[in-house]
Amino acid sequence: MNRLASSPRFQAIAERVPILRGIARREGAALFDLMQGFVNSQMLAALVELRVLHLLAEGGATADALAARLNVPPDRMAVLLQAGAAMRLLRRKGARFYLARRGAAFLGVAGLEDMVRHHAVLYGDLADPAAFIRGETTPALAEFWPYVFGASGPIDPEISARYSRLMADSQTLVAQEALRVLTLNGAAHLLDLGGGTGAFLRAVHARYPALELSLFDLPDVVAMADLPANVARHGGSFRDDPLPQGADVISLVRVLYDHRDDTVRALLQKVFATLPAGGRLLVIEPMSGGARPDPHTDVYFSVYTMAMQTGRTRSTQEIATLLKDTGFTKITPVRTRRSYVSAVITAQKL
């Protein structure tokens, strides 16, 4: 089949056979989409940087009007708007462009614009993709997240603020996705380990107001947490400091994929020792599709964590094995609606 698919003669025949024509054209379009993906992302970045979506949210406008307002040559603005409409972020009607539903949805997702801007770092790291894959480059993305290298002392305030803002905004989506499929009924005390500025705990508190909550993260990060007064805050490093006691549920939200296997094993052993008998662990993060590669997690997240140089995107089976080796039982992957937001695994200490 591969020989046929790669044969120019067979491709020409397929274009003339009604049954095969649709398949051939869909595959051709899919291949072109793969090839032009970088341009899509860069035009999205241009729309974000120029705030075109925000301007069109106020009402429709022509390319000339937007060009004058944004100090962009009219012919270049026309190309950008046409590309935005082709990506269905904008809608064209005559000479005027309007914000489309997809563009409105984009603006409605907290933190998405910041993530697009942040991708400039990743794009730079992938400028020579073959060298990147060979491990011959020094990715700048690794310097963006110094905490994953084990930094337990003070972090540059600007870096800490960037990290916390990105984490908080995107963590809200992760929390929504996880709490759709998880129940914390019957739990007494949840400790969110590596919980950043508390986005996950805020979502939990809104749904389970009687549940006792605690946050553990680096001191500089915990200091910026916006949490109710009755949520306990603990500053420290899970590498060097003991974990707070008393929780019967511990959550690890987007923590494991930041770290190497040896660090993850040591962390899971700490968590296991901290939990009481019957206590539960929640692992919440994007996960590889494993034997069934996922088009989002096995492209975006796997490459992103590779650029960070410290962790990797693991499959549910890989994480389950790490949990089992630690001593956890009742290890259960929980299906979520959007793998590109997060997956969930629960485990118990008997």
- In the block, residue with structure tokens 């962790």: 311
Length of the chain: 350
Distance CA 66, CA 344 (A): 44
Local confidence band at 4 (pLDDT 50, 70, 90 cut-offs): low
CA torsion, ordered 262, 263, 269, 275, to nearest 10 deg: -160
pLDDT at 10: 65
Distance CA 100, CA 313 (A): 33
Sign of the C-alpha dihedral computed for residues 181, 182, 186 and 188 taken in this order: negative
pLDDT at 160: 54
Ranges 41-50, 125-134, 150-159, 329-338: which has the least confidence:
150-159
| Same-domain check for residues 211 and 272 | yes
Q: CB-hemisphere CA count at 13 Å for 77?
A: 20
pLDDT at 116 over 70: yes
| Same-domain check for residues 66 and 207 | no
What CATH number corresponds to the domain at position 307?
3.40.50.150
| Same-domain check for residues 338 and 196 | yes
Q: Which of 83, 108, 133 is the last residue of a domain?
A: 108
pLDDT at 287 over 70: yes
Domain span including residue 74: 2-108
Q: Which of 108, 123, 139 is the last residue of a domain?
A: 108
Cβ 295 vs Cβ 234: under 8 Å: no
pLDDT at 22: 77
Distance CA 114, CA 116 (A): 5
pLDDT at 16 over 80: no
| Same-domain check for residues 343 and 279 | yes
pLDDT at 149: 45
Distance CA 275, CA 243 (A): 10
- Mean pLDDT, residues 27-53 taken together: 93
Which residues sit opposite 212 in a β-bridge? Answer: 189
| Same-domain check for residues 55 and 149 | no
Local confidence band at 161 (pLDDT 50, 70, 90 cut-offs): low
pLDDT tens digits, 64-95: 999 999 999 999 999 999 999 999 999 999 99
| H-assigned helices in 16-62 | 18-49, 52-57
Local confidence band at 295 (pLDDT 50, 70, 90 cut-offs): very high
pLDDT at 324: 98
Residue 150 vs residue 316, higher pLDDT: 316
pLDDT at 145 over 80: no
Q: Which of 108, 140, 173 is the last residue of a domain?
A: 108
Residue 327 vs residue 335, higher pLDDT: 327
| Same-domain check for residues 134 and 262 | yes
- In the block, residue with structure tokens 């600007």: 158
| Same-domain check for residues 240 and 337 | yes
| Burial tier of 301 (Cβ tally within 10 Å: 0-12, 13-18, 19+) | buried
**How big is the CA angle at 267 (ends 271 and 248), to the nearest 5 degrees?**
15
Phi and psi at 249, nearest 5°, equal -135, 130
pLDDT at 343 over 50: yes
Q: Strand 249-253 relative to strand 90-93: parallel, antiparallel, unpaired?
A: unpaired
| Same-domain check for residues 185 and 139 | yes
pLDDT at 72: 98
Local confidence band at 25 (pLDDT 50, 70, 90 cut-offs): confident
pLDDT tens digits, 163-198: 566 666 778 889 999 999 999 999 999 999 999 889
| Same-domain check for residues 165 and 33 | no
| Same-domain check for residues 218 and 290 | yes
Distance CA 138, CA 120 (A): 15
pLDDT at 284: 97
Distance CA 131, CA 105 (A): 36
Average pLDDT of the chain to the nearest whole number: 90
Local confidence band at 2 (pLDDT 50, 70, 90 cut-offs): confident
What CATH number corresponds to the domain at position 8?
1.10.10.10
**Cα distance from N-terminal residue to C-terminal residue, the chain:** 51
pLDDT at 148: 47
What is the total count of domains within the chain? 2
pLDDT at 147: 54
CB atoms near residue 42 (< 10 Å): 14
